């Protein structure tokens, strides 16, 4: 009797969680499916989720906005299919993690998400993947700014434009010997991801630079 009661209670809780998640996801669908240009990073994440088989992938992120944007939405379906980490690591950690993941699981589609600030500071390690023949995909969400840090950089930005950053990171990826492309339209996201997957299967390291908006909205972001 106790087991049956516990199972029934567990099913009720699971149903409640599923209903809450469905309602929450519905609230976010306008951003996840937005056709706005520059592309919202949430559209990139949503298209990525639809385009890949999570059971055949390993995904991670860098610190900053890409982490906060990816964590609530990406659903891994296999153990160690998602490597999430908090604020205890420096920029560039995701790039190293995904190279290690590809070496450990060469048959997986191994993808790391980075912001433009992260790639600008640590992205030269993409050359390691090229030189060592580690066929990963690096997705750079490039909004040409430090968007989420605006509250902390008010005075310095007014005086010295400290939040403004720039660069053509697809060009950098090609200069380092990798396969790279720049994507500016939402309708082109899925095809770019599929091309990256196929090039990884051919043994090539890939960088996709998505030109995105300065998105500062996060799901359930806590205050400090």
Which position has the higher pLDDT, 174 or 65? 174
Q: In what order do the strands lie in the sheet with 137-142?
A: 82-83, 57-61, 109-115, 137-142, 206-211, 179-183
pLDDT of residue 186: 98
- Residue 167's pLDDT band, with cuts at 50, 70 and 90, is confident
The verdict on 28 and 41 lying in the same domain is no
pLDDT of residue 157: 47
The verdict on 28 and 102 lying in the same domain is no
Read off the pLDDT of each residue in 153-168 and give the average, rounded to a whole number: 65
Tens of pLDDT, residues 55-106: 999 999 998 889 989 999 999 999 999 998 876 678 889 999 999 999 999 9
Which position has the higher pLDDT, 165 or 44? 44
Alpha-carbon distance of 25 to 122, in angstroms, equals: 33
Read off the pLDDT of each residue in 174-184 and give the average, rounded to a whole number: 98
The verdict on 70 and 159 lying in the same domain is yes
Of 34-43, 112-121, 138-147, 148-157, which gets the smallest average pLDDT? Answer: 148-157
The verdict on 111 and 77 lying in the same domain is yes
- Residue 140's pLDDT band, with cuts at 50, 70 and 90, is very high
Is residue 193 a part of any domain in this protein? Answer: yes
Pairing between strand 109-115 and 82-83?
unpaired
Is residue 224 a part of any domain in this protein? Answer: no
pLDDT of residue 89: 75
The verdict on 55 and 162 lying in the same domain is yes
pLDDT at 9 over 70: no
**Phi and psi based region of residue 82 (left: phi greater than 0; alpha: psi -120 to 50; beta: remaining):** beta
- pTM listed for this prediction: 0.89
The verdict on 94 and 183 lying in the same domain is yes
> Residue 184: which domain range?
34-211
The verdict on 9 and 93 lying in the same domain is no
The verdict on 6 and 71 lying in the same domain is no
pLDDT of residue 23: 96
pLDDT of residue 10: 67
pLDDT at 152 over 60: no
Q: How far is CA 105 from CA 57, 136, 201, 203, 220, in A?
A: 9, 11, 13, 14, 33
pLDDT at 153 over 60: no
Closest CA to 208 of 174, 186, 180: 180
């Amino acid at each position: 009797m106790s087991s049956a009661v516990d199972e029934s209670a567990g099913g009720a809780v699971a149903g409640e969680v599923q209903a809450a998640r469905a309602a929450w996801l519905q609230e976010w669908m306008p951003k996840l499916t937005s056709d706005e240009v520059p592309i919202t990073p949430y559209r990139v994440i949503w298209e990525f989720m639809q385009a890949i088989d999570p059971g055949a992938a390993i995904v991670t992120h860098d610190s900053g906005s890409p982490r906060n944007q990816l964590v609530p939405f990406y659903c891994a379906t296999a153990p160690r299919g998602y490597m999430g980490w908090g604020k205890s690591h420096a920029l560039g950690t995701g790039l190293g993690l995904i190279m290690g993941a590809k070496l450990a699981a060469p048959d997986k589609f191994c993808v790391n998400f980075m912001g433009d600030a992260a790639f600008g500071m640590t992205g030269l390690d993409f050359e390691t993947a090229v030189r060592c023949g580690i066929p990963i995909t690096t997705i750079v969400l490039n909004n040409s700014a430090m968007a989420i840090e605006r509250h902390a950089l008010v005075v310095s930005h007014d005086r010295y434009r400290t939040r403004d950053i720039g660069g053509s990171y697809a060009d950098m990826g090609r200069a380092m010997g990798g396969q790279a492309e720049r994507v500016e339209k939402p309708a082109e996201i899925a095809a770019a991801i599929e091309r990256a997957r196929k090039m990884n299967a051919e043994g090539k390291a890939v960088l996709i630079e998505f030109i995105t908006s300065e998105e500062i909205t996060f799901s359930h972001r806590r205050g400090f």
